[in-house]
Structure 1
Amino acid sequence: MQPTVVILGGGFSSIGTAHKLLKHTQPKVPSLRVVLVSRSTHHYWNIASVRGVVPGAIADDQLFFDIEDGFKRYPDGRFELVVGSVSAIELGDESVTIQTEDGQKLIRYTQLVIATGASYRSQLPFTSIGTHEKTIGALHNLQQQIEAATSITIAGSGPTGVETAAEIACAYGTSKEVTLIVESGAPLSVMRMYIREAAAHGLEALGVKLILNARVKSATQSGSRMLVKLSNGEDHLTDVYLPLFGTRPNTRFVPTQLLDGRGYVKVDKALRVEGLKNVWAVGDVGNLESNQLIYAENQTHHVARNLNAVITGREDQVVDLKPGYSPQIFVTLGKKKGVGQVFNLQMPGFIVSTVKGKTLFTEKGPGMISGKNIVRSSI
């Protein structure tokens, strides 16, 4: 069979892996074919979704990039984009079944890469939620809701919840009541306490109201508003409710024996799926490292190098990745402030704002889609 790498997903890791194979492996193996399977025709630069939900803050063309346009540089027949949802992986005959607009499509592979990422249970458009039309439509709808709201309640005090609360507060000041529900004594539970406290103070300085040591028990429609009941006994009526917690890996199509108890793909340190020689997983879908951008980016480079070794007949050059366990996180508080931790060190706010806060890396989008960079690193 013609060497065929099928990559599932339309995110940073999948697009980056495809470009690396086409740039560095295909010239050595001219018959190599790369097939990218994505639910959407467009990549969603969801790093910037926290600012993108604010009407007028970021243009659509800085958030959404046509995937196929980025691959036109490669020889005909070497790359194919299949738009559809994965419905099954058949390990026995090494194939995947894709549900497209025109029906089911069977694609055989010699190497398979699972890079479908993770998403929120609420299906909020902070990640891709399906087709391009569905995701951009949901984003525009949320923008309209936020514009019309006088009160916005966010549950989930990880980076996405904190950054979203800060962006809305920066945009509207005191004209909208922004509330962040924090399940412990301070937001950003993976970071050191003094950094978490700095984030809390930064949010409060922007006018965000913090409700500490509380969880959402239920959220139900009450007329035109949402009634949010908390574990501390409080009830809150709000115009817009954003449950930004409970991300889950997009693995419903993956055979259950390949998943751990949380639904993540079980991978070894070479990023192979455990027990399989020609199936790999990269990014937020795998269980090797936590869901951090820097880890997904490093994994993308690593899996592409290992695939290059296998495809070019140098199996002995497949190497293990040294997993990262310490947080390496920059959390923005609008364009000008932020908190950060690299290993156990606190990063000054001006570094966070300079590196990430001003643009949320949107200037890197065109380079990512065309194969020049992933986010911060070159391809």
Structure 2
Amino acid sequence: MAETVVIIGAGYAGIGTAHKLLKYTTPKVKDLKVILISPSTHHYWNIAAVRGVLPGEIADEELFHAIQTGFDKYSKDAFEFILGTATGIDTASNSVQVDVASDAKTIIYTQLVIATGSSYPGQLPFTTVGTYEDSLGALHSLQRKVTDAKSIVIAGAGPTGVETAAELGYEYGELKQITLIIGGDAPLPVLRPDVGKTAAMELERLQVKILHGVRVASLDKHGDQVYITLSDGQRVEADLFLPLYGMRPNTRFVPTQLLDEQGSLNLDKTLRVTGLDNVWSAGDAGNLEPKQLIYAERQALHLADNLNSVLIGNPEGVKELKPAVTPQVFVTLGKKKGTGQYNWVKVPSFIVNAAKGKTLFTEKASGLIAGKNIVRSSI
């Protein structure tokens, strides 16, 4: 029987899973076809978005890479790239509904992988925003706003908020007023306290003002100005406001009974969607592990191995993934400093800078497209 694996989402997990299946499973399974669906012709190397939103820092060509070029080496019978947006799935009929150039199309699958990632509110270009043209336009628009702004407020105590504030402080600390709003006593609250303390000290050295223990209560826009009312009643004015919190999985097309209260797919440890034998997920769309790239990377490789076992007729080869119980996070603090935690250990600044801070892994992007690696792991 012909097998069709449909992968929705061409981010790190989706591309990685597709390449691994095509490289290692297709030669063993006759009539196997992999279909990759994405609204964007290009993959966005958004690890580097925290620096990329600053004008002139990273070229567009280092951030955006054409997806199809990496798959041209495979047979057309084995691979198809569909430029479109998934609008629904029907697990009873094993079908996906896709909007392709404003026309509805139904695609039948035998195995389905949902790897649609997550995004911030407000269409901020820290993740893919619709089509390639949409993402590129949103990025360029934000770069212009960064240039024009004299005051920039970032809300969010997680890695993206902290890294963005640090990049802005590194470049503009003496020229613009940069403010970071955090809900607790220190940034990076899920990590060791000394990691958050290090981040706060470096941010302050970069002349980033930190507002502790407050949250955004409401926003008012008057012309180009944003007025932010905080939970303590304080009002902050900004030329540019970046709400880098409240990340949501991109699962609006998925039936609600498959989702948890946060909108993430309910997964078991094999990376199957709970209650379904032939629907899987990797990366931020699922709820097995924190929504970070290091986990999406290992999930994609594990999922591809499990799919390989199913497709070659060896279901007992499907293995459970042991979810991470301790954080593994590298946080850049501008171009020369960093901090982080690996399991229980605080990571020194020089290691974070050497491993991530200098390039934000942009040199790995071509390898992902070509099917050589995801980020740090080989495919």
Q: Same fold (TM over 0.5)?
A: yes
In structure 1, the residue matched to 2:285 is 285
CA offset digits 1:223-273 (Å, max 9, x no partner): 321111111221111100000000011111111111111111011100011
The answer to whether the 8 Å contact 2:219/2:228 transfers is yes
CA distance in 1 between counterparts of 2:359 and 2:350 reads 14
CA distance in 1 between counterparts of 2:92 and 2:316 reads 25
CA distance in 1 between counterparts of 2:132 and 2:148 reads 24
CA distance in 2 between counterparts of 1:133 and 1:305 reads 34
- For 1:143, what is the secondary structure of its paired residue? helix
Amino acid at match of 1:33: K
In structure 2, the residue matched to 1:304 is 304
In structure 2, the residue matched to 1:8 is 8
Amino acid at match of 1:184: G
Say whether 1:56 aligns with 2:63. Answer: no
Aligned residues: 379
Q: How does 1:218-237 map to 2 (within 5 A)?
A: 218-237=218-237
The answer to whether the 8 Å contact 2:13/2:282 transfers is yes
- For 2:263, what is the secondary structure of its paired residue? coil
In structure 2, the residue matched to 1:257 is 257
CA distance in 2 between counterparts of 1:102 and 1:224 reads 34
The answer to whether the 8 Å contact 2:173/2:208 transfers is no
Identity %: 56
Amino acid at match of 1:86: A
In structure 2, the residue matched to 1:128 is 128
In structure 2, the residue matched to 1:246 is 246
- For 1:88, what is the secondary structure of its paired residue? strand
Amino acid at match of 1:24: Y
The answer to whether the 8 Å contact 2:2/2:30 transfers is no
CA offset digits 1:128-157 (Å, max 9, x no partner): 110111111000000000001111000111
Q: 1:30: Cα distance to partner?
A: 3.4
In structure 2, the residue matched to 1:47 is 47
Q: How does 1:32-111 map to 2 (within 5 A)?
A: 32-111=32-111
Q: 1:102: Cα distance to partner?
A: 4.5
Say whether 1:271 aligns with 2:271. Answer: yes
Amino acid at match of 2:298: N
CA distance in 1 between counterparts of 2:334 and 2:29 reads 46
Q: 1:377: Cα distance to partner?
A: 0.5
CA distance in 1 between counterparts of 2:319 and 2:240 reads 48
Q: 1:76: Cα distance to partner?
A: 2.3
Say whether 1:185 aligns with 2:188. Answer: no
- For 1:27, what is the secondary structure of its paired residue? helix
CA distance in 2 between counterparts of 1:122 and 1:329 reads 25
CA offset digits 1:170-189 (Å, max 9, x no partner): 11231011000011000011
Say whether 1:138 aligns with 2:100. Answer: no
Q: 1:39: Cα distance to partner?
A: 1.3
CA distance in 1 between counterparts of 2:201 and 2:134 reads 36
CA offset digits 1:186-240 (Å, max 9, x no partner): 0011111111011000100011000000101111112321111111221111100
Amino acid at match of 1:224: D
Say whether 1:208 aligns with 2:183. Answer: no
CA distance in 2 between counterparts of 1:77 and 1:164 reads 43
TM-score, scaled to structure 2 = 0.99
Q: 1:302: Cα distance to partner?
A: 0.4
CA distance in 2 between counterparts of 1:203 and 1:88 reads 43
Amino acid at match of 1:327: P
Q: 1:106 to 1:348 in 2, by over 3 A?
A: same
CA distance in 2 between counterparts of 1:249 and 1:43 reads 18
CA distance in 2 between counterparts of 1:160 and 1:94 reads 36
CA offset digits 1:268-288 (Å, max 9, x no partner): 100011111111011111111
Any gaps of 5 or more consecutive residues in structure 2?
Answer: none
Any gaps of 5 or more consecutive residues in structure 1?
Answer: none
CA offset digits 1:295-321 (Å, max 9, x no partner): 111101100000000001111111100
CA RMSD across the alignment: 0.8
CA distance in 2 between counterparts of 1:15 and 1:127 reads 15
CA distance in 2 between counterparts of 1:30 and 1:361 reads 36
Give structure 1 regions of 4+ aligned residues with deviation exceeding 4 angstroms.
none
Q: 1:6: Cα distance to partner?
A: 0.1
In structure 2, the residue matched to 1:363 is 363
Amino acid at match of 2:116: T
CA distance in 1 between counterparts of 2:292 and 2:345 reads 17
- For 1:305, what is the secondary structure of its paired residue? helix
TM-score, scaled to structure 1 = 0.99
Q: 1:292: Cα distance to partner?
A: 1.7
- For 1:285, what is the secondary structure of its paired residue? coil
CA distance in 2 between counterparts of 1:148 and 1:292 reads 31
- For 2:221, what is the secondary structure of its paired residue? strand
CA distance in 1 between counterparts of 2:201 and 2:376 reads 29
In structure 2, the residue matched to 1:150 is 150
The answer to whether the 8 Å contact 2:125/2:138 transfers is yes
CA distance in 2 between counterparts of 1:62 and 1:227 reads 35
Amino acid at match of 1:293: L
